[in-house]
Amino acid sequence: MAAAGRGMQVISDPAEARRAVRAAQATGQRVGLVPTMGALHAGHLALVAASQSECAVTAVTIFVNPSQFAPHEDFQRYPRPLEEDLAKLRAAGTGLVFVPDRSAIYPPGFSTYVEPPSVAAPLEGVIRPGHFRGVATIVLKLFQILPADRAYFGQKDYQQTLVVRRMATDFDLPIEIRVCDTVREPDGLALSSRNQYLSAAERQQATALYRSLERGAELLRSGQRSRQSIEHAMRNELEAAGINAIDYIAIANPETLAETPEVQLPVVLLIAARVGTTRLIDNRIVH
């Protein structure tokens, strides 16, 4: 918040970004990092607020990372409302925004990638091969460019939080990883930059992801432990809304994402499905 009075620095040069972070730390200020792909919504801003509550300076990055998109995915189409994003961050009192060009992150000759940990293999790893390689690579690079004290991620991208935590541990990265709750619309739909692709009818259908997670949680709370029964009920909830393109419904160990035949609490319920042409993911932990 201290940075609010000084205005917001918008930086595109990696070396300058690193100097800005180091300069804040040299005066004893803790720096929090919030990596994003922009098209900011209240979910992103909750991460900014979480950082601001713990850190004197909050650095937000906006970069639509090409290496985490497969060729057939929505990299070109991904929304990039930069001026609106900057206005939101300014209003939130953000200290620093890093908005690099693609060539600053992936200059000619760039060819080193992170081999992601084993928790990257199931679920998204099956449907989006190479996705977490791109995620781990950009996150590691951003941690290098903006050597913050803490980094804030959303539970919305549950598997991503496991990948980032594991990488931070395995590579001894001197940064604390914080995970913040998923911010939802009043009807339960998890906020996502991709929600703006949805037509009005699809937006209505999309609420079934939340209902499906609720249904799974309710069954677990009532003592149901049959994976098949829970999955079936969750699938019904999606199909009843006309969502048939389901990539996965998982009932998994929250740490490893392993799916043992016998369901044991705590578990994380995870869904990925396409509503029209828009791919949505959501999850919920049940203790």
**Hey, what are 126's tokens?**
């099956």
Of 164 and 251, which has the nearer Cβ to ligand AMP? 164
Q: Is the distance from CB of 149 to CB of 55 less than 8 angstroms?
A: yes
Stretch near ligand AMP under the rule CB under 6 A, chosen from 44-52, 93-101, 215-223, 235-243: 44-52
Among 47, 114, 148, 241, binds ligand AMP (CB under 6 A): 47
Q: Which is nearer to ligand AMP, 78 or 248 (CB)?
A: 78
Rule CB under 6 A: choose which of 20, 21, 43, 132 binds ligand AMP. 43
Residue among 162, 161, 2 at smallest CA distance from 93: 2
| Pair 51, 6: CB distance under 8 Å | no
Question: Least distance from C-beta 23 to ligand AMP, angstroms?
Answer: 25
The verdict on 283 binding ligand AMP (CB under 6 A) reads no
C-beta of residue 85 within 8 angstroms of C-beta of residue 64:
no
Residue 81 buriedness (CB in 10 A; 0-12 / 13-18 / 19+): middle
Residue 61 in the binding site for ligand AMP (CB under 6 A): no
Q: Which of 160, 104, 98 is nearest to 135 (CA)?
A: 160
Choose between 193 and 205: whose C-beta lies nearer to ligand AMP. 193
Rank residues 189 and 263 by Cβ distance to ligand AMP and give the closer one: 189
Q: Between residues 219 and 271, which has the closer beta carbon with respect to ligand AMP?
A: 271
Instruction: Indicate if the alpha-carbon torsion angle 56, 61, 62, 68 is positive or negative.
Output: negative
**By CB under 6 A, residue 203 contacts ligand AMP:** no
269 strand-pairing partners: 251, 284
When CB distances to ligand AMP are compared, the closest residue is: 154
Residue 232 is a catalytic residue: no
Q: What burial letters (b/e) apply to 200-232, b meaning 16+ CB within 10 Å?
A: eebbebbbbbbbbbebbbebbeeeeeebeebbe
Q: Compute φ and ψ for 284, nearest 5 degrees.
A: -155, 135
Tell me the per-residue interface mask from 146 to 175 with ligand AMP, x by CB under 6 A, - otherwise.
Answer: -------xx-xx------------------
Our finding on whether 183 is near ligand AMP (CB under 6 A) is yes
Residues designated catalytic: 44
Give the binding site for ligand AMP (CB under 6 A): 36-37, 43-44, 46-47, 153-154, 156-157, 180, 182-183, 190-193
